[in-house]
Amino acid sequence: MIAPEGKIILIPLLVIVIAGALVNYLHPVGWLKYFNGVAVILFLFSLYFFRDPQRKVSADPEAFISPGDGKIVNIQKITDPGLGGEAVQISIFLSVFNVHCQRVPLDGFVQSYTYTKGKFFGAYRHKASLDNEQTRIIFRTEGNKFYEVKQIAGFIARRIICYMKPGMAVKRGDRLGFIRFGSRVDIIVPPSFQIDVSVGEHVTGGETVIGKFL
């Protein structure tokens, strides 16, 4: 299955590939053959990048699932105004080879949404959480607890798509948004949150259980 967010890139690339192949067939030119080869590679890579596989969400209603695919690169205590003070940040780095669709971790409601312009440091660098262009979504669970998900642009990623709006009721596994190319997703939870993952672990969006509220 292909993510709908990729159509704006895949369709023009496909048109270029077909047109280039047709022109090269009718009037073979060395440089055009090379150009068309590059276009085919870009199309195939984009087709791979914009894959959107179905995911099986945990049957445990209290399981807080990962909002994205990638590698856990940081777990640290922070001070977060959105949660009113002490919190824990769990950072997931998404390489260009990961699925880039983000999903809602837990049933609840969208409390607020904020978009902040910023820089485009490599998403694997921890300062990207503070300085890079990002969205910040605060959710309220059905049990009246709060957590945040941040979509963070990287060095290559220059387009963050977010479908969350204040007041929305959401379910685990719902499409939260999409980041085009390498990026980072941060989860911010209260200190009492039980964390069941560790730094270096690879997680699967919509399936891996990050932990649960106590």
Report the alpha-carbon distance of residue 123 to residue 130 in Å, rounded: 11
Q: Active-site residue numbers?
A: 183
pLDDT at 1: 77
Report the alpha-carbon distance of residue 149 to residue 70 in Å, rounded: 15
Per-state percent for the chain, helix, strand, coil, to nearest 5: 25, 35, 40
Handedness of CA 134, 186, 2, 201 (dihedral sign): positive
Torsion of CA 142, 148, 153, 154, to 10 degrees: -120
How do beta strands 146-153 and 108-116 pair? unpaired
Low-confidence ranges of the chain (pLDDT < 70): 29-33, 120, 122-124, 128, 155-158, 181-182
Burial environment of residue 138 by CB neighbours within 10 A (0 to 12, 13 to 18, 19 or more)? buried
> Is residue 20 within a helix (H) or strand (E), and if so which, with residue range?
helix 7-26
Structure tokens at 82: 């959105």
Half-sphere exposure of 193 (CA within 13 A, CB side): 28
Nearest-CA neighbor of 147 among 100, 199, 184, 112? Answer: 112
